[in-house]
Each structure stands twice: as C-alpha cells, then as structure tokens.
Amino acid sequence: MKTASSKRRFYAALAGTAAVALCCFTPVLVLALAAVGLGAFTPYLDYVFYPALLVMGAVTVLAYRKWRWGCAPQSGIPHAEGGGRHKGPEDESA
C-alpha cells in the first residue's frame, strides 16, 4: 500500500535525522573515532554533519508531507490527483 511505504520512509528519515543530530550535538562520534584511532578527524566533523543534518531534516519534512497527503481521501483534496482542483458535478457527467 502506498501510505504504508510513505510511512516507512518517514520513520526512516526521522531515524536518520535523529542519528545525525546525535552525532552533531553529543560527543558520541568523537569518542567512537578516538576509540579506533581516528581522533585526528574530529575537527572536520562539523563540515560533514551540519549539512547532513540540514539535508536529513528536509528529507524528513518531505517524507512527512508525502505520508500525510497519501492518507487524505482522493476526492475534493487539491493536492490529490486530478489537477489540483475540486471535482464538481460537471466533471462527473463527462
């Protein structure tokens, strides 16, 4: 079903955003890199994770909008298929 797929995408985007935020705002990744001997890369993490956080935030918003629009009834909704206008009685006779 289309809404189930959209819902899964939304939850995946939300989890990705949470993971990037966790790495941005806490020392989790710094400790992990230090544990494996790659602590020299820690000054450059901001150049990667802040843009990734913005992208994942945008993907989350888009996935949420697609999921919510997919749950709406198809008739009478401007965002549904049908050219973005309400269907009236004149459309039924054609």
Q: Is the pLDDT of residue 12 over 70?
A: yes
Residue among 43, 58, 50, 60 at smallest CA distance from 23:
50
Alpha carbons 49 and 20: distance in angstroms, whole number: 7
Alpha-carbon gap, residue 85 to 94, rounded angstroms: 16
pTM as predicted = 0.56
Please give the full DSSP string across the chain, using - where no structure is assigned: -HHHHHHHHHHHHHHHHHHHHHHHHSTHHHHHHHHTT-GGGGGGHHHHHHHHHHHHHHHHHHHHHHHHHHHS-SSS-TTSTTTTS---HHHHH-
Residue predicted with more confidence, 59 or 25? 59
Q: Give the pLDDT score at 2.
A: 65
For the chain, the structural domain boundaries read: 2-71
Q: Rounded CA gap, 69 and 75, in Å?
A: 12
Residue pLDDT, tens place only, 53-64? 899 899 889 888
